[in-house]
Chain A
Amino acid sequence: MTVREEQTIIDVALENLTREVERVHADGYRLVQIGCTDLGGSYEVNYSFDKGYQFKNLRLTIGPEAEVPSISGIYWGAFVYENEMHDLFGIPVTGINIDFKGTFIKTVEKYPFSVTRKGGDSCRNA
Chain B
Amino acid sequence: MPERIVVPFGPQHPVLPEPIHLDLVLEDETVVEAIPSIGYIHRGLERLIEKREFTEYVYVAERICGICSFMHALCYCQGIEEIMKIEVPDRAKYLRTIWSECSRLHSHLLWLGLFADGMGFENLFMRSWQLRESVLDVLEDTTGGRVIQGTCKVGGVRRDIGAEKLDEMHRALDPFEEQCRELGDIFLNDDTVKYRLQGLGVISKDEAYALGAVGPTARASGVAMDHRETGYAAYGDLGFKPVVETAGDCYARCAVRVKEIYASINLIRQAIDQMPEGPLDVKVKGTPDGEYFSRVEQPRGEVIHYLKGNGSKHLSRARIRTPTLANIPPLVKMLPGAQLADVPVVVLSIDPCISCTER
Contact = CB atoms under 8 A, between A and B. Distances in A.
Interface in A29-62: 30-33, 35-38, 46, 48, 53, 55, 57
Contacts of A16: none
B227 interface: yes
| Secondary structure call for the B interface | mixed
Interface residues of B, number: 37
A5 interface: yes
| Secondary structure call for the A interface | mixed
A106 B43 CA distance: 10
B54 interface: no
Contacts of B317: 37-38
A105 B39 contact: yes
B115 interface: no
Interface in B321-336: 321, 325-326, 328-330, 332-333
A5 B212 CA distance: 18
Instruction: Give the interface size bracket for A toward B.
Output: 35 or more
Contacts of A37: 306, 308, 316-317, 319
B293 interface: yes
Considering residues A33, A46, A48, which has the most beta carbons from chain B within 10 angstroms of its beta carbon? A33
Contact of A107 (B42, B209, B333): B42
A77 interface: yes
Interface in B301-328: 302, 304, 306, 308, 316-317, 319, 321, 325-326, 328
10 contacts: A2-B231, A2-B235, A35-B306, A37-B308, A37-B316, A53-B230, A76-B333, A80-B325, A105-B358, A107-B42
